[in-house]
Amino acid sequence: MPEGHTVHRMARDHSKYLAQQIVNLSSPQGRFAQEAKRLNGKQLISASAHGKHLFYRWVNPQVVRPREIVMHVHLGLYGKFRIHKNPPPEPRGAVRVRMIGDAHTIDLNGPTRCEIMDSSQLQSLKNRLGVDPLDPQADPQKAYLRLCRSKKPIATALLDQSIIAGIGNIYRAEILHLLDLDPETPSCDLSRPQFDTLWQLTVDLFQIGVKHDRIITVDLNSINKPIRRLNKDERLTIYKKQNCPRCNSTVRKWALGARTMYACPKCQR
């Protein structure tokens, strides 16, 4: 499942290719046909992200005071976007939504959710989501207070999208390793200085992820070749590693929060 930085990068790219344009919308697969008919010929105002969720805002340009229509997309495990230059090729696979702009076409396959939301549904979803590290207006205090009330292991809590929105399995392992935190530390035992450091590190890593369109947690100053040429093993510090890069201990691997956790038993005691 894409983590938060990827979804924010998608929102940025989709706005770049389609925002402020009249978009031809269709559902080649047919499962979004009625909604696509409603959105076809509308103007895309913006594409934005919160955590792992995408929101597309549309208006009817022929109306003086148009009411926004919001399309919500959650990719889940199998959702995928493809971007084509116009004219686009024939739809590939079960394309749920095809958005054709002036110069580019964006196809969406296999999302967990793709729907039109009214204002109350949109607000209800946002109320369920935690703070987003890539939101300049985010209030990390909200996340800290929720952690204080939880006895869940910190590694489990970091996957809880109602606390911090956007962290997935790779980022949680990398963040906890970089901070030398035991993944099984109860969330309520995290001190405020520890949380502040965790929050700032998450913000920094997400921003790097958006910029380079990939998860990079190693020190950028230690890289001696172009970032785009780094393979996944070179970009990460602990995830799916055999040995800890700092102490060479064998990396521990176990199920935690229904996902596989990776941690150094020596550095993260």
Q: At CA 161, angle to CA 159 and CA 164, rounded to 5?
A: 85
Residue-range domain boundaries for the chain: 4-128, 140-263
- pLDDT tens, position by position, 146-191: 999 999 999 999 999 999 999 999 999 999 999 999 999 999 999 9
**What pLDDT sits at residue 176?**
98
- Contact in structure between 155 and 255 (CB atoms under 8 Å): no
Q: For this structure, is 259 an active site residue?
A: yes
Q: For this structure, is 80 an active site residue?
A: no
Structure tokens at 135: 């939101």
- Contact in structure between 162 and 130 (CB atoms under 8 Å): yes
225, pLDDT greater than 90: no
The number of helix segments (H) and strand segments (E) in the chain equals 8, 10
Q: At CA 101, angle to CA 27 and CA 103, rounded to 5?
A: 130
Name residues whose C-beta falls within 8 Å of residue 13's C-beta, 6 or more positions apart in sequence. 83
- pLDDT tens, position by position, 94-138: 999 999 999 999 999 999 999 999 999 999 999 999 999 999 999
Query: In the structure, what pLDDT confidence band is assigned to residue 1 with cuts at 50, 70 and 90?
Result: confident
pTM attached to this predicted model: 0.94
Among 3, 152, 174, 235, the active-site one is 3
Q: For this structure, is 184 an active site residue?
A: no
83, pLDDT greater than 90: yes
Decide if domain 4-128 falls under CATH 3.20.190.10. yes
Among 28, 35, 42, 52, the active-site one is 52
- C-alpha span between 218 and 234 (Å, rounded): 8
- C-alpha span between 56 and 116 (Å, rounded): 9
- C-alpha span between 16 and 12 (Å, rounded): 6
224, pLDDT greater than 90: no
- C-alpha span between 190 and 43 (Å, rounded): 46
- pLDDT tens, position by position, 232-246: 889 999 999 999 999
Count CB-CB contacts under 10 A for residue 58: 23
**What pLDDT sits at residue 223?**
85
State the sign of the Cα–Cα–Cα–Cα dihedral 126, 127, 128, 133: positive
Q: Scan for tokens 């076409």, then name that residue.
A: 105
The fold for domain 140-263 equals Helicase, Ruva Protein; domain 3 (1.10.8)
141, pLDDT greater than 90: yes
**What pLDDT sits at residue 32?**
98
Residue type, 44: L
Nearest Cα neighbor of 139 from 120, 119, 165 is 165
Backbone dihedral angles phi then psi of residue 164, each to the nearest 5 degrees: -125, 120
Among 2, 28, 153, 183, the active-site one is 2
Q: For this structure, is 235 an active site residue?
A: no
- Contact in structure between 210 and 9 (CB atoms under 8 Å): yes
In 3-state terms, the chain is what percent helix, strand and coil (to 5)? 35, 25, 45
6, pLDDT greater than 90: yes
Among 113, 241, 253, 259, the active-site one is 259
